[in-house]
Amino acid sequence: MCGMQKITATFLLRLCNFLFFSLVSLFFNTVDASADKVKVVATITPLADFARQVGGARVDVTLLLPAGTSPHTYEPTPKTVQELSKAKLFIRIGAGLEFWADKLVSAAARDVTIVTCSDGIALIKGEDHGHAVSNVDPHIWLDPTICIKIIKKIEDAFSRADPSNTSYYKKNASEYIDKLKSLDMEISEKVRTFRTKEYITFHSAWNYFSKRYGLRVAGVIEEGPGKEPSARHIGEILRLLKGLKTRVVFAEPQSSTRIAEVIAKEAGAQVLILDDLGGQKGRETYLDLMRYNLAVMEKAFK
């Protein structure tokens, strides 16, 4: 009996040692795997999604702007600076959208590689957003064909940062580009069924989308980011709205719907929500976001 107890005690001791060292090994392997990832900071939800699609398991992506936050009025916090100080890559749209980005990078005091997605893109002239940075429209991601170029920029940046995994990034990028091409065809086919092609938006975000698919933004409610429209401007929007074939005013989740509702009530129209940034439930990925917007437009225009 004593011999059996000794054997059992020895077995349990060895088992405990095995489990202990296995857990220690697992912990350090997990830490090493996490430390080995390319740390990326992206400004808006679509860019964070693109980074995850291309980078897969090889990248650690942090999104700067929480869902429901507009980059036009966003103000970085000390936590934002801290996140960027850990990153190897910083992905932004550029073209004046993140007017606060250069100061943020300087504050982070880190030699981070900046990927500016609007570089090399033919930009549409737009209103001055009041930041004295740019007079072009930065909302390039709302055209899926432009997003193909963005994906290629991100793939190249990841390959430069982590050359041993170039083929991995290239494969992921290629597969996602195929999905963007399918999305482009899906939107084109659906838009062809619309009975009207003109619409009123809350802010000037949909020019690239409209240009790609043969639509036209007839008017914009918000004269500038966070700026209340004047009575004169509201009167002009009402005049434009009454001349359209559809009685729809588009609002957005990043801003109050109050003004859109006032205009809609006066014009006998309904308010629907278009979302240019995503991050909301059911719109976490770019593909889901664009299909959501397409469904909203179909409801308004058919």
Which domain CATH number covers 176? 3.40.50.1980
The pLDDT tens digits of the residues spanning 262-282 come to 999 998 899 999 999 999 899
User: How much of the chain is helix, strand and coil, in % rounded to 5?
Assistant: 55, 15, 35
Q: Which of 122, 150, 185 is the last residue of a domain?
A: 185
Same domain for 274 and 171: no
Q: What percent of the chain is predicted at pLDDT more than 90?
A: 63
Same domain for 175 and 60: yes
The listed range with the strongest mean pLDDT (76-80, 126-130, 249-253) is: 249-253
Residue 5 has pLDDT above 80, yes or no: no
- More confident of the two residues 179 and 242: 179
Mean pLDDT score across all residues of the chain: 86
Residue 131 has pLDDT above 50, yes or no: no
Same domain for 286 and 157: no
Q: Is residue 257 part of a domain?
A: yes
Q: Is residue 281 part of a domain?
A: yes
CA 120 to chain CA centroid, Å, is 19
| Separation of alpha carbons 179 and 176, rounded Å | 5
Residue 296 has pLDDT above 50, yes or no: yes
Surface-to-core class of residue 192, CB atoms within 10 Å of its CB (0-12 exposed, 13-18 middle, 19+ buried): exposed
Same domain for 247 and 145: no
Average pLDDT over residues 181-198: 96
| Position 33 confidence tier, pLDDT thresholds 50, 70, 90 | very low
| Position 28 confidence tier, pLDDT thresholds 50, 70, 90 | very low
Same domain for 133 and 208: no
Structural domain including 126 reads: 35-185
Q: Could you tell me the pTM of the whole model?
A: 0.85
pLDDT for the residue numbered 132: 42
Same domain for 56 and 127: yes
User: From the DSSP assignment, how many helices (H) and strands (E) are in the chain?
Assistant: 10, 8
Same domain for 240 and 151: no
Same domain for 85 and 142: yes
- More confident of the two residues 185 and 267: 185
Q: Is residue 16 part of a domain?
A: no
Q: Is residue 75 part of a domain?
A: yes
Q: Is residue 213 part of a domain?
A: yes
Same domain for 68 and 81: yes
Q: Which of 185, 220, 245 is the last residue of a domain?
A: 185
Q: For the chain, what is the domain count? A: 2
Q: Is residue 11 part of a domain?
A: no
Within 10 angstroms of residue 85's Cβ, the number of other Cβ atoms is 14
Same domain for 139 and 220: no
Q: What percent of the chain is predicted at pLDDT more than 70?
A: 85
Q: Is residue 132 part of a domain?
A: yes
Q: Is residue 23 part of a domain?
A: no
pLDDT for the residue numbered 66: 84
Please name every residue paired with 41 in a beta bridge, in sequence order, or none if there are none.
62, 90
Q: Which of 185, 200, 215 is the last residue of a domain?
A: 185
The label of the residue with tokens 């202990």 reads 20
Q: Comparing C-alpha atoms, which of 300, 299, 235 is closest to residue 262?
A: 235
Tokens of 171: 């494969």
pLDDT for the residue numbered 102: 87
Same domain for 92 and 49: yes
* Total number of residues shown for the chain: 302
- More confident of the two residues 32 and 41: 41
Same domain for 234 and 117: no
